[in-house]
Structure formats: structure tokens, C-alpha cells
Amino acid sequence: MATLEEGAQIRGLVDPEQILVMGGLLPAQAKAAAATGCSITVSSRELAEALGAAERPVPVHLKIDTGMGRFGCAPEDAPALAQFIDESRGTRLAGTWTHFAKAESDDAMTRSQFDLFIDTVSRLGVSPGMRHACNSAGALRHPDFALDAVRCGISIYGCEWPGTKPALALRAVVTHVKTVEKGATVGYGSLWRAPGQARVATVAIGYADGVQRARANRGEVLVRGRRAPLIGMVSMDAITLDVSDVPEVQVGDVATLIGRDGDVVITAEEVAEWSETISYEVLTSIGPRVERRHSE
């Protein structure tokens, strides 16, 4: 989990100590962090000291920066910080970890980071607890780096890992269908002009729901088991499709932005290419207005 709030949302599903809050916290949040019962990432002496005042030992995972450059203590500072956490009344060293910067593309750097982490952990002077380094790409490309646990992220969605199935589909509804004549324009900025008479369907989803504006005139959406080009600018609450080649489209039809419709599939990776981003952003950008439906 990135935040305390995210950790709180799933506390009833597993033992709180199995939930690791990985994002950076302020010392002022130490009391609230301790109250969750979750494991807390520590990268600094200041946060460790604040957590040390807790009434019961807080499980702490010490993060060591081996090259990612965001959070984490310097390797040379890790032994002293680990010992402080281990000796403090209010904290318990439950784990140590690092994060790979280029596991998907740079084996040499990943190996260097891993070796630095292992060397640092060996010099802590106290038990490191659970050791973990691999994200999804690290676990896929370097299974020998798995240690005691892996932190799979994008692979849980069924992306970036061969053989997995997508964990979600993104669908919306057609709310308007009309015929436009040659030369007619559609959307803000008149970015699309009809090359001939065309059928245009409006779908109730937009950039407020996670459809990137970079999709203007790019990519496709599935309607009635066929691919229909997305045309014009992406609006806050709507997109438009050219459904001239999709027979009998009508209001109420389902439009699939990610997922399967009949024998045709649009993947999150495809959407990422059309959006000039990565599948991670596509999936995590799906907004709160989108109704979530869960199935087995």
C-alpha cells in the first residue's frame, strides 16, 4: 500500500502486519501509523524516532536506497538505523527492502542493486527480518532475486507477465448515436472531420474517468464485437466513436475500452500505446465515478 488510508481499507482481509505501507510518511503521522497495526516503511531516523514512542511495538520495514533514488536510507547509514529500530521500545525490525529502478530493461543495474542490498543487509548487525527486493519485472526477469517475498504490482492486473489473464475490463454505455455528413466536425477543437457520411456514437466516459486526452483521434473501442475508431478530442465526460462499420449501433449498447467483446480484445497495453503512456497509468487512472463490479 502507498498510504495509511489504503492500508486501512483492507485491514479486515488479512492480518494488519501483512500490509506494508510503502509510501513516505511524516513523523507527525507516526501515531496514526502505529494505530493501524500495519507494517510501516522507514527511511529516516526522524520517522523511526517518532514511531519509537508508540505504546506497542510497530512492525517496521527498513528501506535501503540502492539506486532508485526516491525513498530509502543510504546503505552506509542502514546498520545504525536498523539497530536503532531494533532496540527502540516502540519499533520492531520486521523487514528490510529495496526497489529496482530498471528491472524491466537493465540486467546489469538490477544485479548491482541486488548485490548492494544483500551486502548491506549482511552488515546490519541485527536480524533483517523479511527481505524483499523484486517488483513485477524483477520477479519475472530475475526469479533468483526473490528472497523472502516479492512485491508484484502490475502483474496482479494481468499485465506485463506472459500467460496471465487481465484482472479487469473497462466498459461504458453508448448514450447518443447520429449521422453526420461529409465535412462535419466532432468534438472540442474540431479535431476530426468526417471524410464522408458517418455514424457517430457518443460514449459516457472521459478523461475524468481515466481516458487520457492523448487518445484524441487515436485507438479504438469495441462495440458489438467490432473495433470502432475513437474520433475527436476526449472530453471530461464523453468520447466519440466512428461506428460507420458497426451495424445497428444504438443507445444503450456497451462500449468496451479494455477487455473482451466477443472474439475481439483490447488490452491495457494497447491502450497505453494509444495514450502515450504505460499500462500502469492506464489502469490506476480509472476514476472513482466508474462503478466497480466484482466477479469470481
According to the model, what pLDDT value does residue 53 have?
87
According to the model, what pLDDT value does residue 87 have?
93
Query: Alpha-carbon Rg of the chain, whole angstroms?
Result: 24
* pLDDT classification of 174: cutoffs 50, 70, 90: very high
pLDDT in tens, 178-204: 999 999 999 999 999 999 999 999 999
The model's pTM = 0.87
Query: Residue 163: is its pLDDT beyond 90?
Result: no
User: What rounded mean pLDDT belongs to the chain?
Assistant: 95
* pLDDT classification of 55: cutoffs 50, 70, 90: confident
Reference 80, options 117, 43, 124; nearest CA is 124
Q: What percent of the chain has pLDDT over 90?
A: 88
User: Does 4 or 232 have the greater pLDDT score?
Assistant: 232
According to the model, what pLDDT value does residue 75 have?
98
CATH code, residues 170-284: 2.40.37.10
Specify the domain boundaries for CATH 2.40.37.10 within the chain.
170-284
208 within 8 A of 250, measured Cβ to Cβ: no
244 within 8 A of 231, measured Cβ to Cβ: no
The residues facing 63 across adjacent strands are 97
According to the model, what pLDDT value does residue 120 have?
98
Specify the domain boundaries for CATH 3.20.20.10 within the chain.
4-152
Q: How many residues does the chain have?
A: 296
* pLDDT classification of 255: cutoffs 50, 70, 90: very high
Query: Residue 62: is its pLDDT beyond 80?
Result: yes
According to the model, what pLDDT value does residue 296 have?
66
User: Does 230 or 17 have the greater pLDDT score?
Assistant: 230
Reference 3, options 42, 45, 35, 40; nearest CA is 40
Residue 281: count other Cβ atoms within 10 Å of its Cβ: 15
Lowest mean pLDDT among 1-5, 48-52, 78-82, 155-159: 1-5
Place of cell 469470481: 296
Distance CA 184, CA 193 (A): 5
Q: What percent of the chain has pLDDT over 70?
A: 100
Out of 3.40.50.2300, 3.20.20.10, 3.40.50.720, 1.10.260.40, which CATH number does the structure's domain 4-152 have? 3.20.20.10
Instruction: Kindly write down the DSSP assignment for every residue of the chain, as one continuous string.
Output: --SHHHHHHTTTTS-GGG-EE-S---GGGHHHHHHH--EEEE-SHHHHHHHTT-SSPEEEEEEB-SS--SS-B-GGGHHHHHHHHHHSTTEEEEEEE---SSTTT-HHHHHHHHHHHHHHHHTSSS---EEE---HHHHHH-GGG-TTB----GGGGT-SSTTPPPS--EEEEEEEEEEE-TT-EESGGG-EE-SSSEEEEEES--GGGT--GGGTT--EEEETTEEEEEESPPPSS-EEEE-TTSTT--TT-EEEEEEEETTEEE-HHHHHHHHTS-HHHHHHT--TTSPP----
